[in-house]
Amino acid sequence: MATILNGKALGLTIREKIKSRVAALPSQPKLAVVLVGDDPASHVYVGLKETACEEAGIGFEMNLYESDVSEEVLLEKIAELNKDKDVHGILVQLPLPSQDASRIIQAIDPLKDVDGFHPENLEKLRRGEPTIASAVALGVMKLIRHAVGESEIPKTATIVASPLFAEPIKILLSEQGASVTVTQAEDAELASKTVDADILVVAEGEPGLIIGEMVKPGAIVIDVGTTKVNGVLKGDVDFDTVESVAGALTPVPGGVGPMTVAMLLVNMLKAFQLQQK
């Protein structure tokens, strides 16, 4: 049976450290979130981020829009937040209902991009320069490191996700010497690509996409997917069939979500410090 990776406990440890560091700052950092539409999982995660900010002493501003809001309206808001010296972090909650996520994210000031998806931050990450890395990717890497302990990170990884989402995780895994394959749910060869991987990261928002026979025995399986089904949060991994095959597995909820929230606070602190220089 797989070792269950407790992201909630790991995340709480990180959050306590950030709280004490924020308390020592000369002024309060502030996060502005742009949330579009009424996707239940997105609202759950934004709520968790708001609570985490409040507990850590970080200011929080919510900017909520209808699902059919124009990209121009969102771009105007981001331009306004970029100029606001009291705002140190900007986060556009993904996925967006229909708007072009790449276009919206590129408009964010890279120094305020606490989700780490801006092309400039990704390029710095590729070059190994100091930057703000994706909070999700950092959370995923912390969980993988927790799973392997003192051992080296396994050398074969598959990420099932959109290219935008997969890229920072791919860069960080590659830095650790892993050979990384990126694919998506509609790939006809999906099962053959997942079953060969020592590390499998899935973020498609398709409940039960990955079943036990698609997983390599002993693999580290990181389930980033979150979809509400009949009021219950479900991951992309069929927990029951995968638990008996994998070596380590993140639950949903309680796995990647809490770690992403914790690493977002780490990024808020980093963004604040970068902007003071």
pLDDT digits (tens, 9 = 90+) for 202-250: 999 999 999 999 999 999 999 999 888 898 889 999 999 999 999 999 9
* Domain range enclosing 191: 135-257
Residue 88's pLDDT is: 98
Span of 61-65, 77-81, 104-108, 126-130 with lowest mean pLDDT: 126-130
149 inside domain = yes
Number of independent structural domains in the chain:
2
Nearest to 64 by CA among 98, 87, 102, 37: 37
Residue with tokens 């499998």: 200
- pLDDT of 164 > 90? The answer is no
Nearest to 269 by CA among 82, 88, 129: 88
Residues 248 and 139 in one domain: yes
CA dihedral 253, 259, 262, 266 (to 10 degrees): -160
- Given 30, 49, 77, 170, the catalytic residue: 49
67 inside domain = yes
Tell me if residue 113 is catalytic. Answer: no
Residues 142 and 253 in one domain: yes
- Given 39, 93, 113, 216, the catalytic residue: 93
Residues 173 and 214 in one domain: yes
pLDDT digits (tens, 9 = 90+) for 106-153: 999 999 999 999 999 999 999 999 899 999 999 999 999 999 999 999
Tell me if residue 85 is catalytic. Answer: no
CATH code of residue 83? 3.40.50.10860
226 inside domain = yes
Tell me if residue 142 is catalytic. Answer: no
Query: What count of residues does the chain have?
Result: 277
CATH code of residue 154? 3.40.50.720
Confidence class for position 160, pLDDT limits 50, 70, 90:
very high
Give mean pLDDT, residues 28-46.
93
Residues 142 and 67 in one domain: no
Residues 34 and 82 in one domain: yes
